[in-house]
Amino acid sequence: MALHLYDTATRSLREFRPVRSGTASMYLCGATVQDTPHIGHVRGALNYDVLRRWLIHNGLDVYFVRNVTDIDDKILTKAAAAGRPWWEWAATHERQFEQAFDSLGCLPPSVTPRATGHITQMVELIERLIEAGHAYESGGDVYFAVATFEDYGRLSGQHPEEVQQGETAAEGKRDHRDFTLWKRAKPDEPAWSTPWGRGRPGWHLECSAMSTTYLGSEFDIHGGGIDLIFPHHENERAQSRAAGDAFARYWLHNAWVTIAGEKMSKSLGNVLSIPTLLEKARAVELRYYLIQPHYRSTVEYSDDALFEAAQGYRRIEQFLRRVKDRAGAVRPGTVPEAFGAALDDDLATPQAFAVLHGAVRDGNAALDAGEHATAAEHAAEVRAMTGILGVDPLAEPWSSAAGGDTQASSALATLVDRILSEREHARAQRDFARADQLRDLVTEAGIVVEDTADGPTWTLKTPARDE
């Protein structure tokens, strides 16, 4: 493969060379299922879904693991405040996350391990660390001894002497930099039996145990948001390597979604839930919006930006419908070389989308010139590219995403496209009165028409856009 990925650990673009020929192994830090998923949660899942699709397109068998953290301080606190069992709270929100991922077209993981289902593996990892002199027990808690691992700080660029773990003070720690592997039981909290007494796992321990259980002691890609680089991923890397595992070859991190320059978070009260956003745009349009920027670039959310992205997607959608109406069925073709080169360059989706929209422009021009065969060739390329990006309008789930009345939705699209095509013909003949009449016709029907350099696009009026 010609794929190069930016590795956080080396701070460089590195050629992707998988551990095992013909396969790619990926671990993505999944959700801590404490609340309803928001746009910031799903952005990374979509970025890595595109990478996974590109790897599959290049002939690799991809093993993709996305975990669920279903035991955590925040889960316990929120469940207690709501007066609900912690396990029921976690399961409820896990379902919401899965629904969000599914609704946005993410391929299902090879496996979705839960932290509570891997206590045995976590205990075994702790035992290996204690035996190797990298961990110690103190009063039922177990800590990783940071000073024993010389390479600590390599991933995040932290100087070990300046490390602040963000944990509450603990008398049993030998060094304030040490982090918790196992927490001793507190009254009325869930706990499991171990050689050090009853307790529950620390957050960092969970992912090391789950990733290696399914992908082996060395695997290809470990992904997550930039907020996880320290302390979570730094500590994962330290404990795994200290235990003797080579662990991840490539560390990938996606940037945040922000509002007014602030990271989206529950504590700041600036979150946009997925159900709320799906009232503003279709799921495929939201996916398009979140994958178009480079995965390492911050997305500054606004309703206008989402609407603009929806318009961009509809130009693709309408082009393929036009070709289908005039030239017959459109099947995926060959991926343009420039598109592949863009994705091979650290998943450069902005450049990939530029190639995609170039093909749409050229295809529309060919249609307008009556060159239906040429238009069909461009449409085949468009389907190939949108398939890799997971936004192909003619493929599931988007081909039937309008809901139960798919036939009515398709009929509406055909009628509106025909009217707008007739309007374009009237304008070309300088019959502006007829063109205005046709535009008024669709406007009165509740359809918003926008004239662009690539031709007219349309959307149904929505309350969110009118406000």
pLDDT at position 360 over 90: yes
Contact 123, 130 (CB under 8 A): no
Q: What DSSP designation does 232 have?
A: I
Give the confidence band of 463 by pLDDT, cuts at 50, 70, 90.
very low
Predicted confidence (pLDDT) per residue in 361-397, tens digit: 999 999 989 999 999 999 999 999 999 999 999 999 9
Give the confidence band of 453 by pLDDT, cuts at 50, 70, 90.
low
pLDDT at position 411 over 80: no
Residues with Cβ < 8 Å from 398, sequence gap 6 or more?
105, 284, 391, 392
CATH superfamily of 4-254: HUPs (3.40.50.620)
CA 426, 428, 429, 435 torsion-angle sign: positive
CA distance 267 to 52: 32
Contact 277, 306 (CB under 8 A): yes
328 is written with which tokens?
Answer: 């017959």
- Read off the amino acid at residue 39: I
Give the confidence band of 400 by pLDDT, cuts at 50, 70, 90.
confident
Predicted confidence (pLDDT) per residue in 62-117, tens digit: 999 999 999 999 999 999 999 999 999 999 999 999 999 999 999 999 999 999 99
Highest mean pLDDT range out of 106-120, 398-412, 430-444? 106-120
CA distance 149 to 241: 9
Contact 5, 16 (CB under 8 A): yes
CA distance 243 to 261: 40
3-state secondary structure of 440: helix
Among candidate residues 202, 242, 207, the one with its CA nearest the CA of residue 224: 207
424 is written with which tokens?
Answer: 């374009």
Give the confidence band of 454 by pLDDT, cuts at 50, 70, 90.
low
**What are the E-state strand segments in 146-287?**
179-184, 199-201, 218-225, 247-254, 257-259, 262-263
Residues in the chain: 467
Of 32-46, 101-115, 157-171, 318-332, which gets the smallest average pLDDT? 157-171
Contact 381, 359 (CB under 8 A): yes
pLDDT at position 412 over 90: no
List, in sequence order, the alpha helices (H) in 345-462: 349-368, 372-389, 406-428, 432-444
Give the confidence band of 265 by pLDDT, cuts at 50, 70, 90.
low
Q: What DSSP designation does 353 have?
A: H
pTM of the shown model: 0.88
CA angle 99/104/107 to nearest 5° reads 85
- Mean pLDDT of all residues in 137-162: 94
**Cα torsion at 22, 48, 291, 339 (round to 10°)?**
-20
Cα of 398 vs its chain's centroid, Å: 18
Q: How do the domains of the chain map onto residue ranges? A: 4-254, 275-466
pLDDT at position 220 over 50: yes
pLDDT at position 241 over 60: yes
pLDDT at position 407 over 60: no
Give the confidence band of 206 by pLDDT, cuts at 50, 70, 90.
very high
347 phi and psi, to 5 degrees? 55, 55
Q: What DSSP designation does 38 have?
A: B
Of 224-233, 237-246, 275-284, 415-424, which gets the smallest average pLDDT? 415-424
- Mean pLDDT of all residues in 9-32: 97
Of 165-179, 228-242, 354-368, 409-423, which gets the smallest average pLDDT? 409-423
189-195: which pairs have CB atoms within 8 A and are 24 or more residues apart? 189/76, 190/71, 190/76, 190/86, 190/87, 192/119, 194/123, 194/126, 195/123, 195/127
Bridge partner residues of 61 (DSSP): 23
